Structure 1
Amino acid sequence: MALYMVQNHLSEEDIFERGETLDFPDSVVELFEGYLGQPHDGFPKKLQRIILKGKEPVNVRSGEILEPVNFQEIKEMLYSSLKRPVTSHDVIAYALYPKVYMYYHQTVNKYGDISVLDTPTFLYGMRLGEQIEVEIEKGKTLFVKLVSIGEAKADGTRVLYFELNGQMREVLIKDENIKTTVQARLRADPGNQSHIGASMPGTVLKLLVEKGQTVSKGDHLMITEAMKMETTIQAPFDGLVKDIYVLNGEAIQSGELLIELTT
C-alpha cells in the first residue's frame, strides 16, 4: 500500500477522497478482505469499504476456507518442471507465491545465479569505469570493471566492454531503453474519465476484454504487475471498450494510456 501511494503521489486524504475510483493492488485488496488474517481490533471500516468496493470481507480464519494444498503434488510438478532435486523450501515457496517463484527460476535460468551481485548493481547496473567484486564461490572472487559502452545498433543492441580479472570481455545486450525512446506511447489524461492509465511501471499480465466489448462498472479490464504486486484494473463506469493500446506481456510506464472507454 505504501509503495502504491508513493508511486502515485497519493496522500491519506487522497485515498479517502478518491479511493472509490482507484484500482488498488490485489495484495492490498486481499489484505482488507481478511485473507492474511484479522487485526485484533479489526480493519478501519471506512478504509475497508473504500478498498473492497462492495466485496464482502472474510470474517473467519482464512485457513478455514482456503483449498487444501497437496505438497507431494507440488513437489512432483516442480521436479518435472525444474529438472533438479526439489526441497521443502521450494515447495513452501511455490505454495505461497507460485508466480513469483516460477519467475525467479526463469530469471536464474536466463541469467544464472544473480544472488552473487550486490544490491546496487542488481537494481541499477554498473556505472562506466566502476569495478565490482563478485564472489562466485567461497575463495573464488571475480573482479569486473565496465570499461566502455558501444553505440546502439539498428536492432537495438549494444556491445558492453568489460575487464574480467584484467582480461577484456565483450557482451552483446538488448538496450530496452531504445524501444521506449523510439516508440512513445500515448499518455492518459487524468481529467478524462474514459482514459484508463497505468498507475505504476510494470507489465501487462493479461487483457480481460476486447475492443468493442460492452462493460459494466466494476468489470475487470486487465491485470497488471508492478514490483511483484498484481493489480486488477476495473471499469469506472458502464460503457464500451473504444480502444486497447497495449498487448499481453508488454512493459508499461506510469501514466501511459492502456484502455479507452466510451459511453
Structure 2
Amino acid sequence: MAGLLKPQAARLLVGALRDRHPDVPIHIHTHDTAGAGVASMLACAESGADVVDVAVDSMSGMTSQPSMGAIIACLQGSKHKTRISLENVSQYSAYWEQARTLYAPFECAVTMKSGNADVYENEIPGGQYTNLQFQAFSLGLGEHFESIKKAYKEANILLGDIIKVTPSSKVVGDLAQFMVQNKLSSKDVLEKAEELSFPTSVVEFMQGYIGMPHGGFPEPLRSKILKDTVRIEGRPGQTLPPMDLEALKKKLMEKHVQKVTDEDVMSAAMYPKECDDFLSFRNTYGPVSLLDTWVFLDDFLSFRNTYGPVSLLDTRGFLVGPKVGDNFEVVLEKGKTLHIKTLAVSANVTEEGEREVFFELNGQLRSVFVKDLTLSEEIVVHPKANKDVKGSVGAPMPGTVLDIRVKEGDIVKKGDPLVVISAMKMEMVVQAPVAGE
C-alpha cells in the first residue's frame, strides 16, 4: 500500500509465488509514491503476475497507482503486450484531465508537488499520505509535515512495527501528529505514557478494538497507556450484541425522511456519526452523487424513479460557487432547464449582513439577497492553560469539543476523562492532570 515493492524484490516475490502456485492467479496492487511503480509492475508482469493495478495517465503517479499508458507502451511488442489501444487510453486520460480541474479545491497537488523516495523510510500508505498532509495543514502543522513523516516512523516502531493499512495506519498517523503537536520524542512517549492523553484511536488500538496485531501488543507501553482500562480478548466482533438492521433502517428513514438504501444502513452500522452527517447533507443539497461529471440518462432516470424530481447542479458551481460572469444551467426536469448568468455583487451590506446579487435567469434580470458569511467571522482568542497553576487543563491539540464527561462539583482522580475533543477525524480524551474537584 505504500509502494515499497522495488523491481528486484518484485521479481523474487512474484517468481517464488508463481513457482509454488503455478495455477493461482496473481494480482498485484501498489501505489507510486516513490516513482518506481511502473518499473515494479513491469517486473511483476515479466515474473508471472496475471494482473497489475494501474491508473489512467492523468490520475496516476505520486500516491496514486502507476501510469496505465506507460505500462501499456512499455509492453508493446513483447510477449506481455496488453492489446489495449494506447490512443484510446490517451483520449480517456484527456477527459479525466479536464474533469479533474473541477475538483481543484480538493487537490493534493496544492501542497504535494511530486513523489518522494522517503516513503521507503516512513512506510506511509499512499491513500493515507495525502490525507495526513491535509490533516497537518488543517491542524496548523503544515510546515512541520517533514517532522510528521519522521514521527510516523517512530510511532510505527512504538506501536510494534505494525502492518499499516486502514484502520491500523490511522492509529500510526494519529500518534505521529500527536507527537509533533506536543513536541514529544519516542523516548518521551515511553517515559510519560501514564500522564499523556493519547488519541482515542491509539487507546482503542491498545484495548484490542481492531484485533490483535501481528507480533502482539507493545509492552510496557500498552500497560502504561491503558492502566485499568478494559481490554478485549480475541476477535472484537465476537463480543458485539446482535444488531437489528431493519430497526436501524426504520430509524434512519424516520429521522431523515428520505429513501434509505441498504448501503446507507451498512454505513450507519459501521460509521453512525459520519453516515448521519452525510444523510443530513443529502437532505439539504440533494443527490450530489448525480453531478454532471458522470451523469448519464439511464442513471438519472433510475434515480428519479426512486427518489422523485431532483436538481442536477453543475459540478464547479456546487463545489466552489459561481463567479461574476459565469454561465451555468440547472435542470429541473426533462425539457425544463434554467439558464443562469451571474452579473454582479453589491458592495453595500444590509443590516442583516446580506448583499444583493444580480443575475440573468433565462435572459431576464433578477436579484436575490444572499447572506455574506465572511462578515460574521470573528476572531476568538481562547486562554491557554497556565503550567504554574496546579490543575489547569489544556487541550493537546486545537479542535471541537465532542463530549464533556464531568460536571461542576464532581470529584475526579488523576487520569479521569474530562472532555473529548476532535479535529480532522482524530479524537482525543483530555484527562485530569491531578486529582481534585
So what's the TM-score if we normalise by structure 1?
Answer: 0.67
Q: How far 1:94 sits from its partner (Å)? A: 0.6
Q: C-alpha deviations, 1:86-134, integer Å up to 9, x for none?
A: 2221111111111221122223333445565979x96xx6798797989
Higher share of residues assigned helix:
2
Query: Match for 1:68: what amino acid?
Result: P
Tell me the SS of whatever aligns to 1:90.
helix
Change over 3 Å in CA distance of 1:194–1:132 after alignment to 2: farther
More moved, 7-16 vs 165-174: 165-174
Asked if 1:188 is matched to 2:359, the reply is no
Report what 1:6 is aligned to: 177
Distance 2:190 2:344 in 1: 51
Q: Is the 8 A contact 2:343 2:360 kept in 1?
A: no
Counterpart check, 1:47 vs 2:244: no
The equivalent residue for 1:82 is 256
Aligned partners of 2:216, 2:349: CA distance in 1, in Å? Answer: 55
Greater relative contact order (CA < 8 Å, ≥ 6 in sequence): 1
Q: Does the C-alpha gap of structure 1 residues 136 and 179 become closer, same or farther in structure 2, counting only changes over 3 Å?
A: same
Q: 1:71 to 1:185 in 2, by over 3 A?
A: same
**SS of residue paired to 1:75:** helix
Residues 220-260 of structure 1, C-alpha deviation per residue, up to 9 Å, x if partnerless?
Answer: 222223223433322122112xxxxxxxxxxxxxxxxxxxx
Query: Hey, what does 1:224 align to over in structure 2?
Result: 421
Alignment partners' CA distance in 1, 2:382 and 2:271: 32
Partner of 1:172: 370
**Is the CA contact (8 Å cut-off) linking 2:360 and 2:366 kept in structure 1?**
yes
Cα 1:32–1:130 change in 2 (3 A) is farther
Single out whichever of 69-78 and 186-195 deviates more from structure 2: 186-195
The answer to whether the 8 Å contact 2:329/2:340 transfers is: yes
The separation in 2 between residues aligned to 1:22 and 1:177, in whole angstroms, is 39
Instruction: Find the residue that maps to 2:194 and give its secondary structure.
Output: helix
CA RMSD of aligned residues (A): 4.2
Match of 2:397 in 1: 200
State whether residues 150 and 158 of structure 1, in contact with CA within 8 Å, keep that contact through their aligned partners in structure 2: no
Note if contact 1:5-1:11 (Cα within 8 Å) is conserved in structure 2: no
Partner of 1:61: 235
In the TM superposition, what whole-angstrom CA distance separates every residue of 1:173-221 from its partner, at most 9, and x where no partner exists?
463784542x433222356552222333332223222233321122222
CA positional deviation for 1:32:
1.7
Q: 1:112 to 1:60 in 2, by over 3 A?
A: same
Aligned partners of 1:204 and 1:225 also within 8 Å: yes
Q: What is aligned with 2:32?
A: none
Structure showing the higher strand proportion among its residues: 1
Distance 2:420 2:201 in 1: 13
Q: 1:97 to 1:143 in 2, by over 3 A?
A: farther
Tell me the distance in 2 between the aligned counterparts of 1:162 and 1:3. 46
Moved segments of 4+, more than 4 Å: 9-12, 111-119, 125-137, 142-155, 160-171, 176-179, 190-193
Q: Relative to structure 1, is the Cα distance of residues 170 and 45 closer, same or farther in structure 2, using a 3 angstrom cutoff? A: farther
Q: What is the TM-score with the length of structure 2 in the denominator?
A: 0.43
Please state how far the C-alpha of 1:59 moved relative to its aligned partner: 2.2
Task: Determine the structure 2 residue equivalent to 1:30.
Answer: 204
Aligned to 1:100: 274
Stretches of structure 2 lacking an aligned partner (at least 5 in a row): 1-170, 292-313
2:81 paired residue number: none
Gaps of 5+ in 1: 241-263
Deviations 1:140-167 (A, max 9, x none): 9x99989769677776x45485879998
Q: What is the identity, as a one-letter code, of the residue corresponding to 2:222?
A: Q
Cα contact 1:127–1:146 (8 A) shared by 2: no
What percentage of residue pairs aligned between the two structures are identical?
A: 29
Are the equivalent residues in 1 in contact too, given 2:199–2:426 (CA < 8 A)? yes
Shift of 1:60: 0.9
Cα distance in 1 for partners of 2:344, 2:185 equals: 46
Partners of 2:195 and 2:330 in 1: CA distance: 49
Residue of structure 2 in register with 1:18 after alignment = 192
Aligned residues: 234
Contact 2:197 2:431 in 1 (8 A): yes
Residue number in structure 1 paired with 2:309: none
> Which residue, 225, 244, 264 being the options, matches 1:70?
244
